């Protein structure tokens, strides 16, 4: 029984992780095909399974009712509050249900008969899967992974665990942790800490790049690394430009960063912020020039401004072109204190 349940939990975890390249496209496809009904579909996809689960729980609660109804009510209250406060999208809300189900599967494998570890291990297991899931999403195109989403997965796992406790309460007091269970808990907790640290260093730690003309912007790369990557992409994209974003491939983070600057430049220009648009364009010209000229999946003609538009941005009177800080990065990127790389 234990092996079968544990295998089911692992299979579900693998399905959640490796479905990442396809899930977002499915959500996008539904949104495109049924745009007027998309919001209703999203609510139904989340509310229907949750409602069915709550009905099953209510039917099964026959003893220790106060504690079990408290666990069930807490699960619903925490989950609903988190979804509302963070204004989660359809995909994120569905992801919330996924991780709740995953926590329930881990809780049942094995049956929580050894006290505290029956509570802690499923929570740690769900968090571990959440880290691997977001890390995998960060490495592939289309999807993104960040620490905020790991928090979402952890909250969802906690809500799923509370629900599982209301349906199948532990046989031992949850506060009692058997000595023989400590090793498993410590190993799992250590794995969570180490993997999260590695994830954070990979995704959320970068560099401040300083240029005397432009100012500063943040990147995963140093100024020297950006120069080397620009030279590499110039040579490579002459033969094989990035015309397609393949779901099952390694994302080119250099290209992604450059396209973020393109998006920020275009948004600033459309909003009439010529100074910001000019700086973003200079960042592109100096550090991401291959993206301006090569055809990509985001623009078949490249992204370089026409000569007239560039001349207008460079010469329009009254524009403050003093160095400033670019805010094109869409999620938090931290740097080691005092570490700045310069372009000379």
257 and 150 within one domain = no
Residue-range definition of the domain harbouring residue 282? 207-343
Local structure of residue 36 (DSSP, 8 states): G
DSSP string, 127-158: HHHHHHHHHHHHHSSS----HHHHHHHHHHHH
54 and 6 within one domain = yes
Which residue pairs from 264-270 have beta carbons closer than 8 angstroms and sit at least 24 positions apart in sequence?
264/326, 264/327, 264/328, 269/313
How confident is the model at residue 343, as a pLDDT?
Answer: 66
Give φ, ψ of 343 to 5 degrees: -105, 115
253 and 162 within one domain = no
93 and 25 within one domain = yes
In a domain, 198, yes or no: no
Helix (DSSP H) and strand (DSSP E) numbers for the chain: 13, 4
In the chain, what's the furthest Cα-to-Cα distance?
A: 78
167 and 113 within one domain = yes
237 and 108 within one domain = no
The number of domains in the chain is 2
CA distance 281 to 291: 11
Give φ, ψ of 304 to 5 degrees: -75, 135
Per-residue pLDDT 10s for the chain (344 aa) are 667 888 888 899 999 888 887 877 777 777 677 777 766 776 777 778 888 888 988 888 888 888 899 999 999 898 888 877 776 666 677 778 889 899 999 988 865 555 567 788 889 999 999 999 999 989 888 778 889 889 988 999 999 999 998 988 876 555 556 666 778 888 999 999 999 999 999 999 999 999 988 989 999 999 999 999 999 999 999 999 999 877 778 899 999 999 999 999 999 999 999 999 999 999 999 999 999 999 999 998 899 999 999 998 888 887 777 778 887 888 889 987 766 666 65
Q: 216 has which bridge partners?
A: 210, 325
CA distance 344 to 334: 23
How confident is the model at residue 177, as a pLDDT?
Answer: 60
Task: Out of 177, 195, 220, pick the residue that ends a domain.
Answer: 177
230 and 142 within one domain = no
CA distance 155 to 189: 16
> Could you give the count of Cα atoms lying within 13 Å of 13 in the half-sphere of its Cβ?
23
> What is the pTM assigned to this prediction?
0.85
Edge-first strand order for the sheet with 215-219 is 324-325, 215-219, 205-211, 334-343
CA distance 270 to 282: 17
Contacts of 262 (CB under 8 A, 6+ apart): 280, 284, 291, 298, 299, 303
In a domain, 11, yes or no: yes
Q: Which residues of 47-67 are buried (b: 16+ CB within 10 A; e: fewer)?
A: eeebeebbeebeeebeeeeee
In a domain, 285, yes or no: yes
CA distance 153 to 96: 7
In a domain, 182, yes or no: no
Task: Out of 177, 196, 228, pick the residue that ends a domain.
Answer: 177
How confident is the model at residue 1, as a pLDDT?
Answer: 65
How confident is the model at residue 83, as a pLDDT?
Answer: 76
227 and 129 within one domain = no
CA distance 95 to 113: 29
Q: Is 338 left (phi over 0), alpha (psi -120 to 50) or beta?
A: left
163 and 234 within one domain = no
Strands 205-211 and 215-219: antiparallel
113 and 63 within one domain = yes
245 and 118 within one domain = no
Q: Nearest to residue 258, comparing CAs of 237, 276, 284, 240? A: 284
Rounded alpha-carbon distances, angstroms, from residue 112 to 2, 54, 153, 177: 11, 21, 22, 11
74 and 128 within one domain = yes
């Amino acid at each position: 029984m234990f092996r079968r349940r544990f295998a089911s939990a692992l299979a579900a975890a693998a399905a959640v992780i490796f479905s990442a390249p396809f899930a977002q496209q499915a959500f996008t496809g539904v949104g495109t095909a049924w745009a007027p009904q998309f919001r209703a579909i999203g609510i139904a996809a989340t509310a229907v399974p949750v409602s069915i689960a709550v009905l099953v729980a209510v039917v099964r609660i026959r003893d220790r009712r106060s504690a079990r109804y408290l666990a069930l009510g807490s699960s619903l209250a925490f989950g609903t509050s988190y979804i509302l406060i963070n204004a989660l999208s359809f995909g994120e809300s569905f992801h919330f249900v996924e991780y709740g189900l995953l926590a329930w599967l881990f809780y049942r494998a094995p049956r929580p008969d050894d006290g505290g570890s029956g509570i802690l291990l499923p929570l740690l297991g769900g968090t571990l899967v959440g880290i691997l899931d977001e890390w995998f999403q960060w490495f592939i195109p289309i999807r993104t992974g960040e620490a905020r989403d790991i928090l979402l997965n952890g909250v969802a796992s906690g809500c799923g665990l509370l629900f599982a406790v209301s349906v199948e309460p532990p046989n031992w007091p949850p506060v009692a942790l058997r000595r023989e269970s400590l090793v498993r808990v410590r190993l799992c907790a250590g794995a969570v800490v180490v993997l999260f640290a590695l994830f954070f260093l990979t995704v959320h730690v970068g560099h401040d790049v300083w240029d005397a003309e432009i100012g500063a912007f943040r990147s995963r790369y140093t100024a020297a690394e950006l120069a080397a990557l620009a030279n590499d992409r110039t040579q490579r994209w002459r033969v094989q430009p990035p015309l397609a974003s393949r779901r099952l491939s390694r994302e080119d983070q250099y290209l992604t960063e450059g396209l973020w600057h393109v998006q920020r430049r275009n948004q600033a220009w459309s909003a009439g912020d010529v100074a910001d648009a000019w700086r973003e364009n200079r960042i592109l010209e100096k550090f991401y020039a291959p993206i301006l000229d090569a055809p990509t999946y985001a623009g078949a003609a490249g992204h370089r401004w026409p000569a007239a538009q560039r001349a207008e941005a460079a010469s329009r009177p009254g524009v403050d072109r003093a160095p400033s800080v670019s805010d094109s990065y869409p999620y938090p990127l931290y740097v080691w204190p005092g570490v700045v790389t310069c372009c000379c």
